[in-house]
Amino acid sequence: MMFFYDYYWLVLIPVIVAMIASANVNSTYKKYERVRNSRGLTGEMAARKILDANGLYNVRIEHISGSLSDHFDPRSNVVRLSDSTYASASVAAVGVAAHEVGHAIQYAKGYTPMKIRSAVIPLTNIGSSLSYPLVILGLVFNSALGDLLVNLGIILFLTVVVFQFATLFVEFNASSRAMKTLENDHILEGNELSMSRKVLTAAALTYVAALFTAIVNLLRLLLIAGRRNRND
């Protein structure tokens, strides 16, 4: 089982990529949170305006603590905006608020990738917690049982990759909807749109990093399984 510790470099690369993506989104947001939009709309005001324009009067907006912890909760039908977004009139805050409203619109319109992501969440939770333990346990047994456990662990981890892939579509589409709405409804003007787009692009790259991490981890499991089979 010692070769489970091989390919450790495949663990380090995604960690570095994720750190870079996280640092980029934080620095980009901080840069543009200092720029006030010309209409003086706060994140909450912009979110309400976009929701109402799309007929989503039943979707509530709540203020939550934290920074960039904004999200849409489909179970409660609530867009939650953090301290850094709710009452801020920066171009960054308005962009983030519009993005979260984009998720509410996706849910209301039955956007397919969002349905896929919701469907695989239970399996993803199982896969993320059990895939590696199953593979490790499978490495202990040099038998058909070991093969079964290793293969089951890999299959479960595939659900994590599918989830991250669907999430990428969901996030990019939400940002695209946000930017179109901000421009068409004249919520942001001129350079403000470019600044907001940079914030949303930086945020989207964190999901690219998450997908990359999942794919690399899957590759590591496949390499471990292949080496095990060669050593049998």
Q: How far apart are CA 32 and CA 199, in angstroms?
A: 8
- Number of neighbouring beta carbons within 10 Å of residue 84: 20
> Is residue 179 within 8 Å of residue 193, measured between CB atoms?
yes
Cα torsion angle, 13, 19, 21, 27, sign: negative
Q: Is 189 a catalytic residue?
A: no
- Give the strand order in the sheet containing 60-63: 60-63, 78-81, 71-73
Cα separation, 26 vs 202, in Å, equals 9
Q: What is the DSSP string of 152-179?
A: HHHHHHHHHHHHHHHHHHHHHHHHHHHH
Helices (H), 33-143: 43-53, 91-109, 112-140
Q: Rounded to an integer, what distance in angstroms lies between the CA atom of residue 6 and that of residue 159?
A: 24
B/e letters for 101-124, b = 16+ CB within 10 Å, e = fewer, are bbbbbbbbeebebbebbeebeebb
Contact 78, 104 (CB under 8 A): no
Kindly name the residue from 100, 171, 183, 192 that is annotated as catalytic: 100
The residues annotated as belonging to the active site are 100
